[in-house]
Amino acid sequence: MDAIISLCKRRGFAFQSSEIYGGLGGFFDYGPLGCALKKNIKDFWWREMVQLRENVVGLDSSVIGGSKMWEASGHVAGFSDPMVDCRESGMRYRADQLFFSPVAISGKTICHLSILDSPQMEEDALAMARSLLKKRGESAAPDKLRLRPIAEATAEELRQIPSPATGTIGALTAPRAFNLMFRTSIGAVSDASATAYLRPETAQGIFVNFQNVLASSRLKLPFGIGQIGKAFRNEITPRNFLFRMREFEQMELEYFIDPDADWCRIHGEWVESRLAWYRSIGIGDKFLGKEVHAQEKLAHYARACTDITFRYPFGVCELEGIAARGDFDLRCHSAASGKALDYFDGDKHFMPHVIEPSAGVDRVFLAVLCAAYGEDEIGGERRTLLRLDPKIAPVKVAVLPLLKNRNDLLQLSREIFLKLRRRWNAVWDSSGAIGRRYRRMDEIGTPLAVTVDFESLENGSVTMRFRDSAEQVRLSIGELESAIGNLVDWK
């Protein structure tokens, strides 16, 4: 993770927000290369999920919504995470990420505390608890050690648990609900009617526009409405770089279906289709996984939910959630607004059910970087490279004059560059030895480099170098555009 974070800062992918003022926790700014990569990811999602599907349309709804809407959706009352405070340091923790392992030793309970971002870390936490006991000269039978969520701790056990911030035993409070929504107020009046919220998900904007879109677009079930946009959650513990942020972006699709349709099959098809999308942007199967939520852990409105997971350096975590939400959302908004949010099919009218593939742009961005990051040796020199799929690479091609002190090389390479950049994000770079320039491009994932050399001046040919293999081919300047197009354009 450190190598990726450092690459992001060094080469301008992502920076801590307000860094010069000490940084703002949970907020990040995307630099020149970062915003290009992020835009390519979003554009490719939009193409595959909206543009290429005849029965899917797009939407761009407001970020701020009035309190009526968020009360109806259940977010004001229930969009919260359980939180635990350390009384001594004021630090706050997600209670569902705190686990403890109580062991009774000579009649006394000793509790070791672990913070777990993902269930896969359980083994590591248990190993730590074991080694802690060993250090104290205690020998608890290994099968006696098990992790329990802090929410299950009795008052007595809570008094035995050390604070992760200060180590003080008994400094943690019991868990309580913490609402994750950012509240604001609209206009100059500051009474309750002015209260509004920054959306914690883009989905509700789709549900409240269901009738508008239906009436204006002549869609027939099944159909989908897709949206990409910012979402805001006042996360208790933002962490792991771009993985858990307070301001992030989502790519969501609400796919409306007939309540009598085989939702289970349709849900399964979406899971497979989304996995195929991740593969198509260069994320290999060794990184991807599926996690089916157990029935008893489902949100009350969901019938099924499958997460697509990614093996990040810090653990296997959720990349995207694909939920079957029934008609919960439309029903709530219809009841609260008094507006019929029905679908008419001949003499039948009903509320459609919905399948929701919901992905986080920033988590995909981080996954793409983690999957592409590599270090190897080319011609006896070490290099760092991003093996990004050309479809989403921020820069598609670099144009490089072999030497910088030759006007004829500079001029011809500029001509080629100015032509290519009309079609693709291209860069022209003349500074430093050619090998160093190649490596600078490898490090940001540029799939192709075109070098203009003396032979170019003689016979109008250039070399094209491929990032991953470092191999080069020679081709004529006239062939260049179609050769690059074949390699980097979306098919």
List contacts with ligand ATP (CB under 6 A).
Answer: 201, 233, 235, 244-245, 248, 250, 318-321, 358-360, 362-363
Parallel, antiparallel, or unpaired: how do β-strands 397-401 and 448-452 relate? Answer: parallel
Residue in this structure with the two tokens 């593939």, named with its chain if needed: 357
CA–CA distance, 233 with 248 (Å, rounded to integer): 8
Task: Name the residue type at position 167.
Answer: G
What are the start-end ranges of the E strands in 91-245? 92-94, 98-105, 108-115, 148-149, 176-179, 183-185, 195-198, 223-232
Q: How far is the CB of 334 from ligand ATP (least distance, A)?
A: 22
**Shortest distance, position 319 Cβ to ligand ATP, whole Å:** 6
Residue 348 CB, nearest approach to ligand ATP (Å): 32
Give least dist CB 378 to ligand ATP, A.
35
Distance from C-alpha of 174 to C-alpha of 180, rounded to nearest angstrom: 18
Choice between 171 and 368, CB closer to ligand ATP: 368
Question: CA-to-CA distance for 326 and 261, rounded, in angstroms?
Answer: 11
Minimum CB distance to ligand ATP smaller for 96 or for 481? 96
CA distance to 57, 253, 263, 274, 360, per residue, from 223 (Å): 8, 10, 13, 17, 22
Q: Measured from the CB atom, is 296 or 375 closer to ligand ATP?
A: 296
Residue 321 or 447 with smaller CB distance to ligand ATP:
321
Long-range contacts of 480-484 (CB under 8 A, 24+ apart): 480/416, 480/420, 480/450, 481/419, 481/420, 481/423, 484/396, 484/397, 484/420, 484/423, 484/424, 484/448
∠ CA 92-93-95, nearest 5°, is: 135
Nearer residue to ligand ATP within complex by CB, 122 or 318: 318
> Sheet of 223-232: strands edge to edge?
56-59, 223-232, 247-257, 353-360, 315-326, 304-312, 288-292
What is the CA angle 463-400-375, rounded to 5? 85
- Rounded to 5 degrees, φ, ψ at 476 are -80, 155
Residue among 111 and 245 whose Cβ is closer to ligand ATP: 245
Kindly give the residue spans of alpha helices, DSSP state H, lying in 47-89.
Answer: 67-72, 75-78
Q: How far is CA 224 from the centre of its chain?
A: 21
Contacts of 218 (CB under 8 A, 6+ apart): none
Neighbour-count burial of 182, counting CB atoms closer than 10 A to its CB (0-12 exposed, 13-18 middle, 19+ buried): middle
Q: Name the token pair of 282.
A: 């260069």
- CA distances to 223, 258, 362 from 49, rounded to whole Å, are 11, 20, 18
**Least Å distance between CB 208 and ligand ATP?**
18
Least spacing, CB of residue 71 vs ligand ATP, in Å: 18
Least Å from the CB of residue 341 to ligand ATP? 22
Cβ proximity to ligand ATP, 250 vs 334, nearer residue:
250
Task: State which residue, 130 or 233, has the beta carbon closest to ligand ATP.
Answer: 233
Task: Report the nearest approach of ligand ATP to the CB of residue 380 (Å).
Answer: 41
Rounded Cα distance between 222 and 451, Å, is 51
Query: DSSP letters along 327-373, please?
Result: THHHHHHHHHH-----EEETTEEEPPEEEEEEEEHHHHHHHHHHHHE
Q: For residues 218 and 297, which CB has a smaller minimum distance to ligand ATP in the complex? A: 297
Q: Which is nearer to ligand ATP, 271 or 319 (CB)?
A: 319
Kindly state the smallest distance separating residue 490's Cβ from ligand ATP, in Å. Answer: 23
- Tokens encoding 416: 């080629």
Nearer to ligand ATP, 289 or 470 (CB): 289
CB 413, min distance to ligand ATP, A: 41
Q: How far is the CB of 245 from ligand ATP (least distance, A)?
A: 4
Residue nearest to ligand ATP (CB): 360
For ligand ATP, the closer of residues 1 and 140 by Cβ is: 1
The nearest distance, CB 231 to ligand ATP, in angstroms, is 7
